A and B are shown apart, each in its own frame.
Chain A
Amino acid sequence: MSLNYVIVRLLQILPTFFLIMIVCFVLVRLLPGDPTSALLGIKATDADVARANANLGLDQPIPVQFLYFIRNFFRGDLGDSIVLKVSVLSLIVQRLPVTLFLTALAGLFAVILAVPLAVLAALRRDSGVDTAIRTSFQVGLSMPVFYIGIVLLTFFAARLHWFPVGGFGATFGEDIYHLFLPAVTLALSLSAVLMRNLRNSIIEVLTAEYVDFARAKGLRSRLVLFRHVLRNALIPTVALFGLNIGTLLGGAVITETVFAIPGVGRLLIDSIYGRDYPVIQGLTLALALLVSLIFLITDMVQASLDPRIGRR
């Protein structure tokens, strides 16, 4: 994996970024309804709405609005939220780290849950253990996220008081405490997908010639497992993990609602309902950038596992 490759990949993000900017800008304005109608509700008169639209510059033609947006973007100004009346940048800075923290924790839990159990299931293939593992993951995958969330909250938080009933903390330690249950909730469906994929991948690799060769060399089975089997089996799973980060971020919306966590998932949904154009645009761009970077990192991890990737 050369530095060139990384730089080229980073530069490739830019045109995608610009395209997303245009599409997002036009798309939200094509939706029926507008921010002021949604905000002012049924009690505002038409004059009130017209005045509010003029104040926000929403009565200008769309290309003009876009030019203002681009100009402000290069000044580092993503505009102000129409609904919350604070700067979009401050909202992103405040809320995005929370969602990232939640998603990262969920990803970590998913891996911790999926990898050992996938190895176990693969090594004890078709045994009682394997069936038990696969069945319980299947059940977890079938339950909707909000249902899992409420069940965990009711049992572990409200009844046993092991965890707080939703909300967010003030310090780092408190944050982890508050995010434990939501992260588990989010992790369950992803871990099911990862587990199944990794198990199959390991089973396939176990039959490969180089594994037979390693065993024939007399290597201890644990060494064979980690250096040869797992390292190769993980490659497709890592790719799957990267692709599913988007799903994790999406699942965060529901989890954030159920657990009352101040992240961007909920903010994005509310902004779409409220037609809060500046927030939708700002968040979409931030998330697009994030997902692009995650794809890049995933590719880099894959390349470190398989040196054949990334070579020109």
Chain B
Amino acid sequence: MTRFLGLLSLVIALLGLSQTAEAVNRGGKMVYARYADSLFLDPVLNDANVDIWILTNLYDTLLQPTADGKGVNPGLATDYKVADDGLTFTLTMRKGIKFSDGSPITVDDVKWSLDRAKNPKEGIWNFILESVDTVETKGDDTVILHLKHPDPTLAAGLATFNTGIMPGKLVDAAPGATPDDKAKAFAEHPVGSGPFMFDSWQRGTQMVIKRNPYYWQMGEDGKPLPYLDEVDFPVIPDDATRILKLQAGEVDGAELIPYARVGELKNDPNLDMELYPSTKVTFLTMNVRPKMKDGSDNPLANVQVRQALNYAIDKAALIKIVTYDVGKPVISFMSSATPLVSGDGPAYPYDVAKAKDLLQKSGLQNIEVSCLALAGSADDTAILSTIQQMWAQVGVKLNIEQVDNATRTARYRAGDFQMRTSLWTDDIADPSEITSYFAYFPNIESLHGGWQDKTVDKLYEDGQKETDAAKRADMYKQIQKTYMDAAPIVFLYESPYPVALRKNVKGFVQIPLGNNIFSGAYIEK
């Protein structure tokens, strides 16, 4: 009897196993329609999200971000250890890892890539490895980072795109007089360590990446990832056309679905309208300097005025009007998906009476303020025209200045603005990046707005060296509280990444950092 039961359970178990093995469908091609084309596929020298969000499919990192974007998993390195004094960070490399051309990934490649990534003269992301003094290799499988000071952000940094491991010898052998020229030439036909390898790229039209047969990570079925043979990225800038293509079945997925269409696509039986949690926050940057660039007095220098402007906005209504209820209120200047986020509830709940009261106390009533908006952006128009009406109720007149992106950026850098519409997504799974841009004056003068709080500056600097997690969390709690009370920005909302996929697409995810992860994606039969 027991033998029969044993055999029966074995048969059932085997059946169960084969069921799960069939769940994932290997092979085939996925077509993912993008809003804009990538510009430059180099982990260190790239500038924009259109590059970052694709790069991690081509270049693997030593550690990988977790699906919720808050922690790290092993990647090309299986393990890491931090010394007690926090000044040595030792990584153990995985065995048998190879580039997409079959050549082995060596510790020399790791050293080459990290040395390049931390070079202050290369690219704009070197701050991620600022604490690394030297990179030492030991034997075949150990890489030791010697740090200038303890760095609690390093693990997250090593899971960030700019530390992707590149084949140093191949890049050095590429044609070109300078390292930048070589990098440019190499980026035309990159060889990387990620789940996919570069196949072809017609700029502005389509990029094709194909399965990397040497990728190390295993799938559910015990065979190496990725499941897909190929991913095509056609570039369809027009939102309506992109969605039409998806509905017609010509593409399997489309990114950046306008908020206004989310409801409609949710009701489409052939589609999955995904709203991936993101680190994206929308806000208005304020110039808080006492005088504007033209010498006139700036009412926004007064904290009560700034708080009043925040109280005067009905965020729920704004979220409804602009994002069709896809977004949600923020509790801090950072998104709810950023590690160490903290706050006492939604920022500045709608309170017209309080707003009027604060304006009266400040002595600055019936003021006029101006805001730079991106010309042609439907979101900016919606946000600012709504806010214009809300602020009119407390006697504040908002003038909207529509300019194109280059003009807006130039004026922003020069501090020649009173307010501007802004967006932010994190690039690293750590609060230090957003804090260094928003609140830490020495970096870019707090979003070029001029806000400075010396206590916050010190807390940030200490936080960069504090390895005790609890202490660090507390530092960031203090930073966020001070920032909230000082209101150097107008807090608006955070919103997810809206991606629509055909129902038979499984396993795709866009993590909160924005990276599009295709390694686990497959198309169901």
Contacts and interface: CB of A to CB of B under 8 A. Distances in A.
Interface of A: 31-35, 37-46, 48-49, 51, 55, 83-86, 91, 94-95, 146, 150, 153-154, 157-158, 161, 164-168, 257-260, 262, 266-267, 273-275
Q: What are the 7 tightest A-B residue pairs by CB atom distance, in nearest-first order?
A: A33-B406, A33-B410, A38-B406, A262-B205, A32-B407, A260-B236, A158-B248
Nearest to B236: A260
Given A35-B406, A45-B124, A45-B443, 20 more contacts: A31-B406, A32-B407, A32-B410, A34-B410, A42-B412, A43-B124, A43-B427, A45-B444, A85-B40, A95-B204, A164-B250, A165-B244, A166-B236, A166-B238, A166-B241, A167-B205, A257-B238, A258-B238, A260-B241, A266-B204
A87 to B, nearest CB: 11
Nearest to A34: B410
Contacts of B235: 260
A39 B410 CA distance: 11
A146 B376 CA distance: 15
B437 interface: yes
Nearest to A275: B406
A91 B406 contact: no
A86 B41 CA distance: 12
B329 to A, nearest CB: 23
B2 interface: no
B244 A262 contact: no
A40 B204 CA distance: 19
28 contacts: A31-B406, A32-B403, A32-B406, A32-B411, A35-B406, A37-B406, A38-B405, A38-B406, A38-B410, A42-B409, A42-B412, A42-B437, A42-B444, A46-B444, A84-B39, A94-B203, A153-B240, A158-B247, A158-B248, A165-B248, A166-B244, A167-B205, A259-B241, A260-B205, A260-B236, A262-B202, A262-B203, A262-B204
A267 B39 CA distance: 13
A38 B204 contact: no
Given A157-B248, A166-B236, A260-B235, A41 B47 contact: yes
Interface of B: 39-40, 47-48, 121, 123-124, 180, 184, 187, 202-205, 234-238, 240-241, 244-245, 247-248, 250, 403-413, 422, 424, 427, 437, 443-444, 447
A55 B180 contact: yes
B372 to A, nearest CB: 11
A86 B424 CA distance: 29
A154 to B, nearest CB: 6
A40 B47 contact: yes
Contacts of A164: 250
B409 A51 contact: no
B413 A37 contact: yes
B514 to A, nearest CB: 13
Contact of B244 (A34, A86, A154): A154
A58 to B, nearest CB: 13
A44 B47 contact: yes
B417 to A, nearest CB: 12
A274 B240 CA distance: 23
A17 B203 CA distance: 28
Contacts of B412: 42
Contacts of B248: 157-158, 161, 165
B331 to A, nearest CB: 23
A243 to B, nearest CB: 29
